[in-house]
Amino acid sequence: MRSLTIRRPDDWHLHLRDGAMMEGVIGDTSRHFARAIIMPNLVPPVVTTADARAYRERIVNAIPDGDTFEPLMTLYLTEGTSPDDLEEGKASGLITAVKLYPAGATTNSHGGVRDFEKAMPALERMAKIGLPLCVHGEVTTPDVDIFDREKVFIDTVLDPLRKRLPELKVTMEHVTTSDGIDYIKSAESNLAGSITTHHLIINRNAILVGGIRPHYYCLPVAKRESHRLALRAAATSGDRRFFLGTDSAPHIDPLKECGCGCAGIYTSINTMSCLAHVFEQDNALDRLEAFASLNGPAWYGLPANDETITLVRRDEPVDFPAKIETGAGTVTVFDPMFPLHWDVA
Protein backbone atom coordinates (compact mmCIF):
# COMPACT_ATOMS: atom_id res chain seq x y z
CA MET A 1 0.00 0.00 0.00
CA ARG A 2 1.37 3.42 -0.96
CA SER A 3 -1.39 5.69 0.24
CA LEU A 4 -4.00 5.56 2.97
CA THR A 5 -6.87 7.94 3.58
CA ILE A 6 -8.47 7.91 7.02
CA ARG A 7 -10.79 10.12 8.99
CA ARG A 8 -8.88 12.92 10.61
CA PRO A 9 -7.40 11.58 13.87
CA ASP A 10 -7.80 12.85 17.43
CA ASP A 11 -5.35 12.68 20.31
CA TRP A 12 -7.00 11.45 23.51
CA HIS A 13 -4.14 12.45 25.82
CA LEU A 14 -2.01 15.51 25.15
CA HIS A 15 0.16 17.91 27.14
CA LEU A 16 0.20 21.36 25.57
CA ARG A 17 1.69 23.14 28.60
CA ASP A 18 1.11 26.91 28.57
CA GLY A 19 2.60 30.20 27.41
CA ALA A 20 5.59 30.13 25.06
CA MET A 21 5.88 26.33 25.15
CA MET A 22 2.26 25.90 24.14
CA GLU A 23 2.65 28.42 21.35
CA GLY A 24 5.68 26.50 20.13
CA VAL A 25 4.09 23.04 20.06
CA ILE A 26 0.39 23.47 19.35
CA GLY A 27 0.86 23.64 15.58
CA ASP A 28 2.40 20.16 15.55
CA THR A 29 -0.88 18.81 16.91
CA SER A 30 -3.35 21.02 15.05
CA ARG A 31 -1.66 20.21 11.72
CA HIS A 32 -2.94 16.61 11.84
CA PHE A 33 -5.38 16.25 14.70
CA ALA A 34 -8.90 17.64 14.90
CA ARG A 35 -9.30 17.35 18.66
CA ALA A 36 -7.28 16.47 21.71
CA ILE A 37 -7.94 15.82 25.36
CA ILE A 38 -5.82 18.41 27.09
CA MET A 39 -4.09 17.40 30.29
CA PRO A 40 -4.62 19.74 33.25
CA ASN A 41 -1.24 19.35 35.00
CA LEU A 42 -0.12 22.94 34.70
CA VAL A 43 1.48 24.90 37.54
CA PRO A 44 -0.91 25.58 39.22
CA PRO A 45 -3.13 22.77 37.90
CA VAL A 46 -6.48 23.24 36.15
CA VAL A 47 -8.83 22.34 38.98
CA THR A 48 -12.03 24.29 38.40
CA THR A 49 -14.30 24.91 35.45
CA ALA A 50 -13.24 28.55 35.55
CA ASP A 51 -9.57 27.50 35.28
CA ALA A 52 -10.42 25.27 32.32
CA ARG A 53 -12.34 28.04 30.59
CA ALA A 54 -9.40 30.42 30.88
CA TYR A 55 -6.92 27.75 29.76
CA ARG A 56 -9.10 26.83 26.79
CA GLU A 57 -9.13 30.45 25.70
CA ARG A 58 -5.33 30.63 25.84
CA ILE A 59 -5.14 27.45 23.74
CA VAL A 60 -7.63 28.67 21.15
CA ASN A 61 -5.71 31.93 20.82
CA ALA A 62 -2.50 29.99 20.09
CA ILE A 63 -3.91 27.80 17.28
CA PRO A 64 -2.11 28.71 14.05
CA ASP A 65 -4.21 30.58 11.48
CA GLY A 66 -5.91 28.22 9.08
CA ASP A 67 -5.94 25.19 11.39
CA THR A 68 -9.13 23.93 12.92
CA PHE A 69 -8.56 22.31 16.27
CA GLU A 70 -10.81 21.72 19.23
CA PRO A 71 -9.26 21.37 22.67
CA LEU A 72 -11.27 19.04 24.89
CA MET A 73 -10.75 20.22 28.43
CA THR A 74 -10.18 18.17 31.55
CA LEU A 75 -10.09 19.02 35.21
CA TYR A 76 -7.45 17.85 37.65
CA LEU A 77 -9.14 15.84 40.39
CA THR A 78 -8.15 16.86 43.90
CA GLU A 79 -9.37 15.87 47.31
CA GLY A 80 -11.31 19.15 47.33
CA THR A 81 -12.94 18.98 43.88
CA SER A 82 -16.49 20.30 44.00
CA PRO A 83 -19.08 17.89 42.55
CA ASP A 84 -21.29 20.84 41.60
CA ASP A 85 -18.47 22.52 39.70
CA LEU A 86 -17.90 19.29 37.74
CA GLU A 87 -21.56 19.05 36.91
CA GLU A 88 -21.67 22.65 35.73
CA GLY A 89 -18.55 22.13 33.66
CA LYS A 90 -20.03 19.12 31.92
CA ALA A 91 -23.43 20.75 31.43
CA SER A 92 -21.82 23.79 29.79
CA GLY A 93 -20.04 21.52 27.32
CA LEU A 94 -16.64 22.71 28.48
CA ILE A 95 -15.44 19.68 30.42
CA THR A 96 -14.95 16.35 28.62
CA ALA A 97 -13.31 14.35 31.42
CA VAL A 98 -11.65 14.54 34.81
CA LYS A 99 -8.08 13.44 35.36
CA LEU A 100 -6.87 11.43 38.30
CA TYR A 101 -3.20 11.69 39.15
CA PRO A 102 -2.15 9.74 42.20
CA ALA A 103 -0.05 12.26 44.12
CA GLY A 104 3.54 12.26 42.90
CA ALA A 105 2.95 10.02 39.87
CA THR A 106 4.40 12.30 37.21
CA THR A 107 5.14 15.88 36.14
CA ASN A 108 3.27 18.40 38.35
CA SER A 109 1.19 15.76 40.11
CA HIS A 110 1.99 16.66 43.71
CA GLY A 111 -1.52 18.11 44.12
CA GLY A 112 -3.07 14.77 43.15
CA VAL A 113 -5.17 12.44 45.23
CA ARG A 114 -3.70 10.76 48.30
CA ASP A 115 -6.87 9.75 50.09
CA PHE A 116 -9.49 8.40 47.67
CA GLU A 117 -12.20 8.64 50.29
CA LYS A 118 -11.91 12.43 50.05
CA ALA A 119 -12.42 12.33 46.28
CA MET A 120 -15.45 10.04 46.48
CA PRO A 121 -18.13 12.77 46.37
CA ALA A 122 -16.69 14.00 43.06
CA LEU A 123 -16.32 10.47 41.69
CA GLU A 124 -19.87 9.56 42.68
CA ARG A 125 -21.22 12.62 40.90
CA MET A 126 -19.20 11.80 37.80
CA ALA A 127 -20.66 8.30 37.75
CA LYS A 128 -24.13 9.79 38.06
CA ILE A 129 -23.78 12.36 35.28
CA GLY A 130 -21.64 10.26 32.91
CA LEU A 131 -18.45 12.30 33.13
CA PRO A 132 -15.49 10.02 32.36
CA LEU A 133 -12.50 9.63 34.65
CA CYS A 134 -9.09 9.51 32.96
CA VAL A 135 -6.57 7.78 35.19
CA HIS A 136 -2.83 7.85 35.39
CA GLY A 137 -2.80 4.25 36.55
CA GLU A 138 0.21 3.99 38.80
CA VAL A 139 0.65 3.71 42.54
CA THR A 140 3.38 5.91 43.88
CA THR A 141 4.27 4.41 47.24
CA PRO A 142 7.99 3.80 47.69
CA ASP A 143 7.55 0.10 48.48
CA VAL A 144 6.34 -0.64 44.92
CA ASP A 145 8.90 -1.17 42.17
CA ILE A 146 8.49 1.40 39.40
CA PHE A 147 8.00 -1.35 36.81
CA ASP A 148 5.15 -2.85 38.87
CA ARG A 149 3.27 0.37 39.56
CA GLU A 150 0.59 -0.18 36.92
CA LYS A 151 -0.31 -3.71 37.92
CA VAL A 152 -0.43 -2.79 41.62
CA PHE A 153 -2.64 0.19 40.78
CA ILE A 154 -5.10 -2.04 38.94
CA ASP A 155 -5.28 -4.49 41.83
CA THR A 156 -5.34 -2.06 44.74
CA VAL A 157 -6.98 1.11 43.40
CA LEU A 158 -8.71 0.75 40.05
CA ASP A 159 -10.49 -2.54 40.48
CA PRO A 160 -11.87 -1.66 43.94
CA LEU A 161 -12.97 1.76 42.61
CA ARG A 162 -14.74 0.21 39.62
CA LYS A 163 -16.47 -2.33 41.85
CA ARG A 164 -17.64 0.45 44.13
CA LEU A 165 -18.78 2.70 41.26
CA PRO A 166 -19.55 0.37 38.34
CA GLU A 167 -21.35 3.17 36.45
CA LEU A 168 -18.20 5.31 36.42
CA LYS A 169 -16.68 5.42 32.96
CA VAL A 170 -12.90 5.02 33.25
CA THR A 171 -10.19 5.59 30.66
CA MET A 172 -6.98 3.88 31.64
CA GLU A 173 -4.54 6.21 30.01
CA HIS A 174 -1.19 5.32 28.47
CA VAL A 175 -1.45 1.60 29.23
CA THR A 176 2.06 0.13 29.35
CA THR A 177 1.66 -3.49 30.44
CA SER A 178 0.02 -6.71 29.34
CA ASP A 179 -1.67 -6.63 32.76
CA GLY A 180 -3.37 -3.37 31.79
CA ILE A 181 -4.41 -4.74 28.41
CA ASP A 182 -5.80 -7.92 29.98
CA TYR A 183 -7.65 -5.94 32.62
CA ILE A 184 -9.32 -3.71 30.05
CA LYS A 185 -10.31 -6.72 27.96
CA SER A 186 -11.77 -8.42 31.02
CA ALA A 187 -14.16 -5.55 31.75
CA GLU A 188 -17.69 -5.89 30.49
CA SER A 189 -18.26 -2.17 30.17
CA ASN A 190 -17.20 1.32 31.22
CA LEU A 191 -13.48 0.72 30.76
CA ALA A 192 -11.23 1.58 27.84
CA GLY A 193 -7.55 2.35 27.38
CA SER A 194 -5.41 4.78 25.48
CA ILE A 195 -1.99 3.78 24.17
CA THR A 196 0.84 6.15 23.29
CA THR A 197 2.86 6.15 20.11
CA HIS A 198 6.18 5.67 21.86
CA HIS A 199 5.07 2.71 23.99
CA LEU A 200 4.27 0.87 20.75
CA ILE A 201 7.86 1.41 19.63
CA ILE A 202 10.28 1.37 22.56
CA ASN A 203 10.83 -0.97 25.46
CA ARG A 204 12.92 -0.14 28.53
CA ASN A 205 16.16 -1.00 26.75
CA ALA A 206 15.78 2.26 24.82
CA ILE A 207 16.26 4.16 28.07
CA LEU A 208 19.02 2.13 29.65
CA VAL A 209 21.16 0.20 27.16
CA GLY A 210 24.44 1.76 26.07
CA GLY A 211 24.12 4.74 28.39
CA ILE A 212 21.17 6.54 29.91
CA ARG A 213 18.98 8.17 27.27
CA PRO A 214 16.77 10.79 28.86
CA HIS A 215 14.70 11.48 25.77
CA TYR A 216 13.19 7.98 26.05
CA TYR A 217 12.28 8.47 29.69
CA CYS A 218 8.59 8.99 30.36
CA LEU A 219 5.98 7.99 32.92
CA PRO A 220 4.64 5.42 32.99
CA VAL A 221 8.13 4.20 32.15
CA ALA A 222 8.46 1.85 29.17
CA LYS A 223 8.39 -1.80 30.24
CA ARG A 224 9.97 -5.02 28.94
CA GLU A 225 9.48 -6.26 25.38
CA SER A 226 6.65 -8.71 26.15
CA HIS A 227 4.56 -5.78 27.35
CA ARG A 228 5.32 -3.72 24.26
CA LEU A 229 4.16 -6.62 22.10
CA ALA A 230 0.91 -6.82 24.06
CA LEU A 231 0.32 -3.11 23.45
CA ARG A 232 1.03 -3.55 19.74
CA ALA A 233 -1.42 -6.44 19.51
CA ALA A 234 -4.14 -4.45 21.27
CA ALA A 235 -3.62 -1.26 19.25
CA THR A 236 -3.54 -3.01 15.89
CA SER A 237 -6.45 -5.35 16.67
CA GLY A 238 -9.16 -2.81 15.93
CA ASP A 239 -10.72 -3.58 19.35
CA ARG A 240 -12.94 -0.59 20.14
CA ARG A 241 -11.64 -0.37 23.69
CA PHE A 242 -8.19 0.83 22.57
CA PHE A 243 -7.35 4.15 20.97
CA LEU A 244 -4.57 6.69 20.53
CA GLY A 245 -3.52 9.03 23.30
CA THR A 246 -0.03 10.23 22.42
CA ASP A 247 0.87 11.63 25.85
CA SER A 248 3.15 13.91 23.85
CA ALA A 249 4.79 15.88 26.66
CA PRO A 250 7.34 18.55 25.77
CA HIS A 251 10.11 19.53 28.15
CA ILE A 252 13.02 21.77 27.20
CA ASP A 253 16.30 19.90 26.77
CA PRO A 254 18.01 21.26 29.91
CA LEU A 255 15.21 19.76 32.01
CA LYS A 256 15.66 16.36 30.32
CA GLU A 257 19.46 16.29 30.09
CA CYS A 258 20.47 16.76 33.72
CA GLY A 259 21.02 14.94 36.99
CA CYS A 260 17.27 14.51 37.62
CA GLY A 261 15.56 14.67 34.25
CA CYS A 262 11.85 15.18 33.67
CA ALA A 263 9.55 12.45 32.33
CA GLY A 264 8.00 13.03 28.93
CA ILE A 265 8.47 12.31 25.23
CA TYR A 266 7.54 14.73 22.46
CA THR A 267 5.77 12.90 19.62
CA SER A 268 3.11 15.23 18.25
CA ILE A 269 5.10 16.11 15.16
CA ASN A 270 5.77 12.56 13.90
CA THR A 271 3.09 10.46 15.58
CA MET A 272 1.06 9.71 12.45
CA SER A 273 4.21 8.67 10.55
CA CYS A 274 5.31 6.44 13.43
CA LEU A 275 1.87 4.86 13.72
CA ALA A 276 1.62 4.13 10.00
CA HIS A 277 5.02 2.42 10.23
CA VAL A 278 3.90 0.32 13.21
CA PHE A 279 0.59 -0.68 11.66
CA GLU A 280 2.26 -1.49 8.34
CA GLN A 281 4.81 -3.70 10.12
CA ASP A 282 1.95 -5.56 11.77
CA ASN A 283 -0.07 -5.85 8.53
CA ALA A 284 -2.78 -3.75 10.09
CA LEU A 285 -2.85 -0.52 8.08
CA ASP A 286 -6.55 -1.14 7.53
CA ARG A 287 -7.05 -0.81 11.29
CA LEU A 288 -5.08 2.41 11.81
CA GLU A 289 -8.25 4.43 11.32
CA ALA A 290 -10.01 2.56 14.12
CA PHE A 291 -7.15 3.22 16.52
CA ALA A 292 -6.45 6.84 15.63
CA SER A 293 -9.81 8.18 14.44
CA LEU A 294 -12.82 6.03 15.36
CA ASN A 295 -12.50 4.22 18.68
CA GLY A 296 -11.71 7.32 20.74
CA PRO A 297 -14.70 9.41 19.69
CA ALA A 298 -17.00 6.41 20.07
CA TRP A 299 -15.80 5.96 23.64
CA TYR A 300 -16.26 9.63 24.51
CA GLY A 301 -19.66 9.77 22.81
CA LEU A 302 -18.54 12.15 20.09
CA PRO A 303 -18.91 11.86 16.33
CA ALA A 304 -15.87 10.82 14.28
CA ASN A 305 -14.41 13.65 12.24
CA ASP A 306 -15.86 14.20 8.78
CA GLU A 307 -12.60 15.45 7.28
CA THR A 308 -9.89 13.03 6.23
CA ILE A 309 -6.10 12.95 6.05
CA THR A 310 -4.04 10.98 3.55
CA LEU A 311 -0.85 9.20 4.50
CA VAL A 312 1.59 8.57 1.67
CA ARG A 313 4.50 6.13 1.65
CA ARG A 314 7.56 7.90 0.28
CA ASP A 315 10.59 6.15 -1.19
CA GLU A 316 12.97 8.42 0.69
CA PRO A 317 12.70 8.71 4.47
CA VAL A 318 10.73 11.70 5.70
CA ASP A 319 12.93 14.36 7.21
CA PHE A 320 11.62 15.24 10.66
CA PRO A 321 13.62 17.71 12.74
CA ALA A 322 15.60 16.18 15.60
CA LYS A 323 14.65 19.20 17.70
CA ILE A 324 12.14 22.02 17.53
CA GLU A 325 12.67 25.54 18.81
CA THR A 326 10.01 27.09 21.01
CA GLY A 327 9.89 30.41 22.82
CA ALA A 328 10.49 28.43 26.02
CA GLY A 329 13.55 26.60 24.66
CA THR A 330 14.61 23.62 22.54
CA VAL A 331 12.56 20.41 22.62
CA THR A 332 13.92 17.09 21.34
CA VAL A 333 11.60 15.17 19.03
CA PHE A 334 10.98 11.44 19.55
CA ASP A 335 13.39 9.38 17.48
CA PRO A 336 11.82 5.98 16.75
CA MET A 337 15.26 4.64 15.78
CA PHE A 338 14.11 3.60 12.31
CA PRO A 339 13.56 5.66 9.17
CA LEU A 340 10.01 6.93 8.69
CA HIS A 341 8.62 6.61 5.16
CA TRP A 342 4.98 7.46 5.81
CA ASP A 343 4.07 11.10 5.64
CA VAL A 344 0.85 13.03 5.98
CA ALA A 345 0.32 14.45 2.50
Catalytic residues: 247
Continuous segment of H or E residues that includes residue 292: none
Q: How far is the CB of 95 from Zn ion (least distance, A)?
A: 18
Residue 37 to residue 56: CA distance in whole angstroms: 11
Spell out, one character per residue from 191 to 230, where the chain touches Zn ion: x when CB under 5 A holds, - when not. ----------------------------------------
Closer Cβ to Zn ion, 4 or 113, answer by number: 113
Alpha-carbon dihedral 88, 169, 276, 38, rounded to 10 degrees: 30
Closer Cβ to Zn ion, 10 or 247, answer by number: 247
Picking from 197, 194, 173, the residue whose alpha carbon sits closest to that of residue 274 is: 197
The site that binds Zn ion (CB under 5 A) totals a number of residues, namely 1
Closer Cβ to Zn ion, 239 or 247, answer by number: 247
Q: Find the binding residues for Zn ion in span 311-340 (CB under 5 A).
A: none
Spell out, one character per residue from 8 to 37, where the chain touches Zn ion: x when CB under 5 A holds, - when not. ------------------------------
Q: How far is the CB of 249 from Zn ion (least distance, A)?
A: 6
Q: How far is the CB of 264 from Zn ion (least distance, A)?
A: 8
Continuous segment of H or E residues that includes residue 178: helix 178-186
Picking from 321, 136, 106, 322, the residue whose alpha carbon sits closest to that of residue 217 is: 106
Residue 149 to residue 152: CA distance in whole angstroms: 5
Question: Which residue minimizes CB distance to Zn ion?
Answer: 247
Q: Find the binding residues for Zn ion in span 234-293 (CB under 5 A).
A: 247
Closer Cβ to Zn ion, 78 or 176, answer by number: 176
Q: How far is the CB of 262 from Zn ion (least distance, A)?
A: 12
Residue 11 to residue 125: CA distance in whole angstroms: 26
Closer Cβ to Zn ion, 235 or 285, answer by number: 235
Picking from 1, 3, 2, 7, the residue whose alpha carbon sits closest to that of residue 309 is: 7
Q: How far is the CB of 135 from Zn ion (least distance, A)?
A: 11
Alpha-carbon dihedral 83, 159, 181, 79, rounded to 10 degrees: 30
Bridge partners (DSSP) of residue 312 are 3, 343
**Residue ranges binding Zn ion (CB under 5 A):** 247
